[in-house]
Structure 1
Amino acid sequence: MNEFIDKLGEKLMPIAGKLGENRHLKVLRDAFMLSFPITMFGSIVVVLNNLPFFSDATKGTLGTLFGNGQNATMSIMTIFVTFGIGYYLSKSYDVEAIYGGAVSLSAYLILTPFNAVTEGGEAITGVLTLDRLGAKGMFIGMIAAFIAAEIYTRIVKKGIVIKMPEGVPPAVAKSFAALLPAIITLTVFLLVNAAVVGFFATNLHDVVYNVIQVPLTGLGSGLPATLVAVFFVQFLWFFGLHGQIIVNSVMDPIWNTLMLENLDAYKAGEALPHIVTKPFMEIYTVGMGGSGSTLIVVLLMGFIMKSKQLKEVGRLALGPAIFNVNEPLIFGMPLVLNASIFIPWVLAPMVVTAFNYFMMATNIFPTPTGVSVPWTVPVIINGIMATSSFMGGLLQIIDMALIGVIWFPFLKLIDRTNLGHVDMGEPENV
C-alpha cells in the first residue's frame, strides 16, 4: 500500500504543484473570492424570501419587495468575476490593477448584446438582461477578461503609455498612463464584436454558450466527473496540498454556472435543472466538518475510541470541525501521508457524493436551490439553508452515518494499536 501511494504521489504531485502555482488559475480563484461576500448577501436574501414555512403568496410579496437583493448580487455575478480577473491578473504582472479590472469589465460588456426580446416577441434595444450578466455570460466573461487583461498589461509593459510631467497628481498621471493601453485593448474587442455581429448576425455570448459552456457544464454536472474531482481533492490533501484550492480553481467556473442556473429556475418556480452545483459540492462535502466530511470522524475519535491519543485529537478538533475547519485533524492525527487511513479518507466522500446524487436524482431528497451558503455554517443548518427544506439537513445526518460506518473499522484498528502500545509498557502517544 505504501509503495503504491509513493509511486502515485511521484507521478501526480508535480502536476498538482504546477496547477497550484499557475498564475491564471490563482487569478480565477481570487476573482471568485472577490464576488463571495456580495453573492453571499444575495443568497441570504433568497433564503429569507423562501423559507420553507412561507406560503406562495408570502414568497411572492417578499420577492417583489426584496428581490433586488438577489438581482443586484448573484444575478450579475459575472460582472464581479470579470472585474476580479482583470484586477488580479494585472496585479500579478505589477501593473496598476484597478485599471486592468475596469478594462476587462468593459471588454466583456462590449461583447454583450444590449437588447432583449419580450414574451410577446417585441425587440427592445439599450438594455442588459440578467442572464447575460449571470450564468449564461459566465464563460464569455472569463475568456474576455483574461484576454483583455493580457493585452492591456503587455501594452503597459512595453511602455506604450502617456507619461505626465512631475507635479501632476498621482491619480491623474495613472489615468493618463492607462489611456492608450485601454483604448487599444477595447478597440480590439470592439472590432471583434463588430465582425461577429456584422458577418454572422449573432454575438459571441451565444457562440461561446452553445459551443463551450453548454458541453462543459454538461460534463461538470455529471456524476463521473464529480467523483473524479472529489477523488483529487482528497488525494491532494493526503499529501498535504490544499485539494479544494487546486481542484476548485478548475471546476468552480462550471459549478458556479450550474448554481446560477439552478437559482434562476428556483426563482421562476421551475424544476431545478442540475444536481451537481457549487452548493452541492460545498454543503455535502466540506459542509459536514471540513474536507472529507470529517465531523463524524472527530466525534468517533473523541467519544467512542478508547486510546488517549485519538480521544485528545478528536476533542481538540471538535470545536473547529463544527464550523467545517478540519486542519487540526488533518495535521494533528495526522491524516497527511498516513497510509492507515488513506482508504476511508478517499472513499467516504466519494461514496456519500454518489449516494446523494442518486437520492436527489430520484427526488427522495431535494436538490440545492442555488443559494450560496457560507462554508462555516454548521452541518444540518447549512443543509436546510441550501435546499430550503428540512430534508436537506436530514440527508446530512444520513451521510454522516455512512461516513462513520466506513471510517469505524479503520479507527478501531488504530485505536487497538495505540492501546497495544500501552499494554507493552510503551508511552501511549508514541
Structure 2
Amino acid sequence: MDNVGRGNWVSEKLLPPIMKVVNTKAMNALKDGMVYSLPFIIIGSIFLILSNIPYKPVAQALTDSGWSAIFTQAYTTSFGIMAVWAVVGIAYVYVRNEGFEALPAGLTSLAIFLGLQSLQVASPLSAAMGKAGSGVGSLSGTQVAEHIDKLPHALQTFLTSPVTGAINITWLGGQGMIAAILIGIFVGWGYSAMLRAGWKITLPEQVPANVANQFTAMIPAGVLITVAMFIYAFFSFIVKEDLLQTIYTLIQTPLQGLSDSFGGALIIAFLVPFFWFFGVHGGLIMGAITTGLLVPNTFDNAALYHAGKLSLANGAHIVTNEFYNNFINLTGSGITIGLVIFTLVAARSVQLKSLGKIEAVPGLFNINEPFLFGLPLVLNPFLAIPFFLTPVLVAASTYLVIYFGIVPPLNGVAAPWTTPPIISGFLIGGWKMAVWQAVVLVMSAAIYWPFAKKYDKMLLTQEQEAEAAENA
C-alpha cells in the first residue's frame, strides 16, 4: 500500500469512528469542562512553590513565621480541590451546549458529588498509632498506642472513631477526579434530558427570569439528587463503602497505573503527531482522553512534594499532565524546535527560511501551527519520520531518566503549556529538569536535521526550476 493508499485508509476508515467518539456530547463536556479547573491548578501551583521553597533557610523562616501554613491553605483550596472545579465545569458545559441555563446543573453536580461520599474523616489518632504511625509530638506511634490502651474502652472507641459531619478533602482532589468526570457527565446528560422532556416548573411571564430559572431547575435537580441518595444508600448498606472509594479502587487506580507506564507514555507520544499528520488536532484529542488520568497523577506528585516525600519509592508518578505538556508537546506537537533551528541556521530554500522566521517566536511558546499547516507537516511524507519519532524518543528517554533517578520526578507544579522550554523545566522539576529539557531540544535538532536538509534541497531545486521557467 503506497502513502496515498495509507492516507486514504486512515482518513476514511480509522479516523471517522475515532472522531465520532471525540465529538460526542460527553467528550466535548469533558474537554471544555476540565478547562475551568486550569486557573485554580496554575494559581495553586504558585502557592505550592511558595510553601516548599527549596532553599532551606528561607523554607525554615517561612515555617517559623507561619507563612508556609498560609501558603498551604491557598494551595489546598485551589489546586487541592481540583475535582470540585471539574465536576461543576463538566456538567455546566454539557447543559450549556444543550442550550439550557447551565449553572444550576453545575451546582446540582457538586451536590451529588458531595452526597455520594461518606461525610466523615478518619480520626487523626488512627494514623498516629502503631509502629508505622506518625506519632504525636515526642511520642512514637507505639507509645501513642500504649497510652490509648490504658484508657477505658468507651473512651478508646470515641477517640479512634471517624470524625463525622466533615467533608473528606481527599476526594476533592486528584483521587476523586474520575468520579467527578463520571458524575459531571451523568448529571449533564440527565439534567438536559429532563428539560428536553419538559420536566420543569413553568412560572408566569411576569416572574423575573432569574427566579423562574431556579424553579426550572428544581425538578431535574430534585430527581437527580434523589437518585444519588438511593445510590449512596446501596453502597452504604450493601457494599459497605461509598461510591467514590469504589470508583477509585476499581477504575481510577488501574487507569492511572496504565497511563503512568512506559508503554502508556509511548502510545500517548505517538498518537499526538499521528492524528496531526492527518490534519486532526492531536493535542486536543489526546488531551481530552488523558486529562482525567494525568491530572490526578500531577496531584499525587504535588501532594508528595508538599509533604517532602517526592520519590518513586513513595509512589510518585513519572507520566503526569506536565510530562504530556512539557515533554511530549514541548515547543508544539512533534517537538518541532529542531526543525525551527534548521530553518534559521541552514535552510537555503525561500519557503523554509520564510516559515522559520514566522515560527521562531511562537515555537518558544509551544505553538507550531505555522509549521503544521504552512510547511506543511500535515500529510508530508518527507518529514513524517522525525515528526513521529521525536516525541516517542523524548517520551522514552524522559521516562527512563526519571525511572533511573537521573532526574527527580515532576513535582506537581502546573506550568502553563505556553511556558517556554527550560523555564518550564525548572518550574516543574528544578534545575536538573531544566537541563534535561535543554538536552531534549538538542535531540529534536539532531533528529530533524537530516530529513529537513533533504526536504530543503528538494524545495530549493523546485524553486530554482520555477525561476528558470519564469525567466525562459
* TM-score strictly above 0.5: yes
Larger radius of gyration: 2
Worse overlay, 233-242 or 419-428 = 419-428
How far residue 48 of structure 1 moved from its aligned partner, in angstroms, is: 3.4
Which one of the candidate residues 224, 228, 235 is aligned to 1:196? 235
* 8 A contact 1:16–1:246 mirrored in 2: no
> Counterpart of 1:52 in 2: which secondary structure?
coil
Please tell me whether residue 282 in structure 1 is matched to residue 325 in structure 2: yes
Partner of 1:18: 20
Cα deviations by residue, 1:100-133 (Å, 9 ceiling, x for unpaired): 1111111111012211113312321111222110
Deviation digits for residues 192-224 of structure 1 (CA, Å, limit 9, x no counterpart): 101211233211111111111111111111121
User: Take 2:208 and 2:465, find their aligned partners in 1: how far apart are those partners?
Assistant: 77
Distance 1:22 1:373, change over 3 A: same
Aligned equivalents of 1:189, 1:414: Cα separation in 2: 60
- Cα RMSD after superposing both structures: 1.9
Tell me, yes or no, if the aligned pair for 2:366 and 2:417 is still in contact at 8 Å. yes
Which residue of 2 is the match for residue 95 of structure 1? 100
Shift of 1:54: 4.5
- Whether the aligned pair in 2 keeps the contact of 1:421 and 1:428 (CA below 8 Å) is no
Given residue 447 of structure 2, which amino acid in structure 1 is its aligned partner? Answer: I
Residue number in structure 1 paired with 2:294: 255
Counterpart selection for 1:227 from 237, 249, 266: 266
Query: TM-score with structure 2 length normalisation?
Result: 0.87
Superposed displacement of residue 428, structure 1? 11
Q: Distance in 2 between matches of 1:206 and 1:18?
A: 31
What's the % identity of the aligned pairs?
A: 30
Gaps of 5+ in 2: 127-159
| Paired position in structure 2 for 1:323 | 365
What secondary structure sits across from 1:282 in the alignment? helix
8 Å CA contact 2:52, 2:306 repeated in 1: no
Structure 1 letter corresponding to 2:414:
S
Instruction: Indicate the SS of the match to 1:120.
Output: helix
Displacement of 1:72 = 0.8
Q: 1:110 aligns with which of 89, 111, 115?
A: 115
Shift of 1:423: 5.2
Distance 1:428-1:50 versus aligned 2 partners, 3 A rule: farther
Letter in 2 for 1:2: N
Secondary structure, aligned partner of 2:382: helix
Structure 2 distance, partners of 1:317, 1:152, is 45
Stretch moving more, 265-274 or 330-339: 265-274
Query: CA 1:70/1:427 → structure 2, altered by over 3 Å: closer, same or farther?
Result: farther
Change beyond 3 A, Cα 1:51–1:380: farther
Return closer, same or farther for 1:58/1:355 CA change in 2, 3 Å cut-off. farther
CA separation in 1, counterparts of 2:454 and 2:7? Answer: 20
What SS does the aligned partner of 1:364 have?
coil
Partner residue of 1:407 out of 438, 445, 448: 448
2:225 maps to 1:186: yes
- Measured after TM superposition, the shift of residue 150 of structure 1 is 2.0
| Counterpart Cα distance in 2 of 1:400 and 1:52 | 26
Decide whether aligned partners of structure 1 residues 179 and 54 sit closer, same or farther in structure 2, where only a CA change above 3 A counts.
same
Distance 1:428 1:213, change over 3 A: farther
Q: CA deviation at 1:63?
A: 2.5
Which AA in structure 2 matches 1:154? A
Q: TM-score, normalised by structure 1?
A: 0.95
Residue aligning to 1:119: 124
Letter in 1 for 2:204: P
- What secondary structure sits across from 1:284 in the alignment? helix
**Residue deviations 1:248-268 (CA, integer Å, cap 9, x gap):** 111110001111111111111
Q: Which residue of 1 is the match for residue 130 of structure 2?
A: none
Distance 1:346 1:383 in 2: 23
d(CA) in 1 for partners of 2:270 and 2:468?
Answer: 36
**Does the CA contact (< 8 Å) of 1:156 and 1:181 recur in 2?**
yes
The 1:77/1:425 distance shift into structure 2, 3 A limit, reads closer
Superposed structure 1 runs of 4+ greater than 4 Å apart: 422-425
The code of the aligned residue for 1:266 comes to: Y
In the alignment, structure 1 residue 172 sits paired with structure 2 residue 185: no
Deviation of 1:16 after TM superposition, in Å, equals: 3.3
The answer on 1:209 being equivalent to 2:248 is yes
Q: Name the count of aligned residue pairs.
A: 427
Which AA in structure 2 matches 1:282?
Answer: N
| Selected match of 1:131 from 150, 161, 170 | 170
